[in-house]
Amino acid sequence: MVGGFPRLVGAGYHQRGYAGETFLCDMTVSYNTLDAWAVVPYPVGPAVVQAGLIVGTFLDGKIDFSGIEMDNEELPEGLNYGLMLSLGYPVGPVNLNLGYALGLADHDGGSFNGIFFNVGYGF
């Protein structure tokens, strides 16, 4: 609680990426990120709808184009941040979450949006 305002915070190791075609072949790019988020929960029956902010930094990445690895200089620069909306279902101290992250940071003309599933533990 922040005053009378409920909130949940968390951190996680996630993967972001995209797939596409070039004029030569198909290519898949994936980035590993360390993310932190803060959401406001709203109970709906046994489940909880959560909305809030997510921010993360890029750790490393891989291009699946003949297994080429990226150098740290090739990673997107700056923070990756956005909004998230999820549905959580508590099972004891464990929380199962399904949600959507809407990336707001511009990384070379694109942003990272995606559906996620994660498992959390409440202390």
pLDDT score recorded for residue 118: 84
- The enclosing H or E element of 99 equals strand 94-103
* The token pair that represents 87 in the structure block: 């549905």
User: In this predicted model, what pLDDT tens digit does every residue of 71-96 receive, in sequence order?
Assistant: 656 677 788 899 999 999 989 889 89
| 21-30 pLDDT, tens digit each | 777 777 777 7
The strands making up 47-64's β-sheet, listed across from edge to edge, are 8-21, 26-44, 47-64, 80-91, 94-103, 114-121
Rounded percentage of the chain residues whose pLDDT exceeds 90: 26
pLDDT one-digit tens code per residue, 94-113: 989 999 988 898 877 777 78
Mean pLDDT of 2-27: 75
Tens digit of each residue's pLDDT (9 = 90 or more) over 44-70: 999 999 999 999 998 887 777 666 666
Highest mean pLDDT, choosing among 8-17, 31-40, 54-63, 114-123: 31-40
Distance between CA atoms of residues 37 and 49, nearest Å: 15
Among 74, 62, 63, 60, which residue's Cα sits nearest to residue 22? 63
Asked whether the predicted pLDDT for residue 1 surpasses 50, the reply is no
